Amino acid sequence: MAAYVGAISAVLNWQFSLQDDEDPGLGAYAPLVLTVLIKFGSLSWTWIAPAIVRLENHRREDDKVEKLSVILAVVKIFVALFPFISSCFLATLYQSTCGDTFEEAAAATFPNYASFAPLSPESMEALKPYSFEKDGRFCFHGCHPASAAAAEVWAETTCDKSVSANLKTYFFFTVALDLVFLIIPIVISANEIRQERRKQERAGKDFEYSLLQWEAKKFKYEWNSWGGDKINDNLDLTISYAVVVCFGIISPIMATVCLLSLLISLRLRCYRMIYATRRPLPRASTGLGVWEYIYTGINMVAVVINVGLAAVFFYPMRVKRASEKFMIFVIGEHVVLLVQFIFRLIVPAKPADISHIEAYNMHVKKVLRTEQSGMKRFDGLRTPAKINLDVIPDGVQSDADSSDTTNEGCC
């Protein structure tokens, strides 16, 4: 995790330095490099997590699956969200640029500053909220207007541009990759059947494909299989959901793309499950299981991040003092969590009609269980008043008695 955080920070610093470069074409590759690094970090943890789980002694397969699901989900969600958390909340601090005077700091921050100097009073007033003093020096935050000549307090900042580009590139790449890996097993399975059909037709034989032969060409429903598995099927959807609910407000088009891709993805998963995946081992399930708690945790994190974006990242709060930002963040977060709690109280987790039906079903089962019990036939029988519990009942001779008699006669 430390290596991943360091690599992401290095890429983000490189992207920040490219904003001052005269060649803007190189900066277009930064979002793609960041996306590849995120995917590599996620893939690396996919190899490491099963080895960690195997070190533990799980008595049941369900316990092993749940532990692997939690370890994979927590780390992979962090891997997906950390670059954008760093760009939105941390970049404005550790990517600051300083100088001995305000003009030197502005010249180091904005490209071609000398050609616009001196700036107009309006531009100077617009830049002041993005600057601060540190140890007697003037500094500019990492998030500042892209141009000093046409600076406005409400103008788009460099962080707005970089975060939006990184977010769109990663999300669209993730959606496309998910759909591709759903289509590949379908194509492979259909291609193998097609090759056998052609082979039989060339030999002049009738092509008859049994159900067992078809099942043999399908993929197993197990960990890291082309046929899919329970963990990865849930994990892919969970990561996309986490990115949208946490940072979808920066690029609202992601919500629309996510809805369309989700409909296509679910359809492909159903098709793959029927035509490209072998029949899995049937297991009973009472709900989402551990994934319910994972989604609950994502919703809590989304509240914190969205309120943080409103208090720190967006205008007008981004130009306020740190104390005002902190106060708005604390108040906003508690208000949203309170609203969630109120809705949980008002809207029950289980509807009232479902509760009544379950109670009636339990009553019917109890009545039927009593009437159909095997002990019903013994109701007319009575236990005798006297029971002989002797070791040797009357009229029964034991082996010990016969041996004693024999020995007695011999002697």
Distance CA 250, CA 162 (A): 11
Cα separation of 18 and 391, whole Å?
Answer: 99
- The three state secondary structure string of 61-86 is HHHHHHHHHHHHHHHHHHHHHHHHHH
Residue-wise pLDDT for 216-228, tens only, equals 888 888 888 888 8
Confidence at 244, pLDDT banded by 50, 70, 90: very high
Q: Distance (Å, rounded) from C-alpha 142 to C-alpha 130?
A: 9
- For residue 251, pLDDT over 50 is answered with yes
What pLDDT does 109 receive?
Answer: 75
pLDDT score at 393: 58
Q: Residue 410 has what pLDDT?
A: 47
Q: How do residues 314-332 score in pLDDT, each as one tens digit? A: 888 888 888 888 899 999 9
| Band of pLDDT at residue 392, cut at 50, 70 and 90 | low
Section 108-127 average pLDDT: 72
| Omega cis (within 30) before 316 | yes
User: Which pLDDT belongs to residue 146?
Assistant: 74
Q: How far is Cα 404 from Cα 34, in angstroms, rounded to an integer?
A: 96
The CA–CA distances, whole Å, from 192 to 170, 197, 208 equal: 33, 9, 15
- The three-state secondary structure class of 131 is strand
Please tell me the pTM assigned to this model. Answer: 0.77
Q: What share of the chain has pLDDT > 90, as a percent?
A: 24
Longest CA–CA separation in the chain, Å: 137
Q: How many CB atoms lie within 10 A of CB 252?
A: 9
**pLDDT per residue as tens digits for the range 20-58:** 555 555 567 888 999 999 999 999 999 999 999 989 888
Helix (H, G, I), strand (E, B) or coil at 99: strand
Query: Does residue 408 carry a pLDDT above 90?
Result: no
98 beta partners: 139
Token duo for residue 167: 């977010």
Q: What is the pLDDT of residue 76?
A: 94
Query: Given the structure tokens 């891709």, which residue do they identify?
Result: 261
Give me the percent of the chain exceeding a pLDDT of 70: 84
In the predicted model, is pLDDT for residue 313 greater than 50? yes
Indicate whether 273 pLDDT > 80. yes
Report helix, strand and coil shares of the chain as percent, to nearest 5: 70, 5, 25
pLDDT on residue 28: 75
289: left (phi over 0), alpha (psi -120 to 50) or beta: left
pLDDT at residue 409, as a whole number: 46
**What pLDDT is stored for residue 78 in this prediction?**
94
Q: For residue 134, is pLDDT > 90?
A: no
Give the pLDDT mean for 288-309.
90
Q: Give me the phi and psi of 219, to 5 degrees please.
A: -100, 150
Average pLDDT over residues 126-154: 76
User: What's the token pair of residue 202?
Assistant: 């060339």
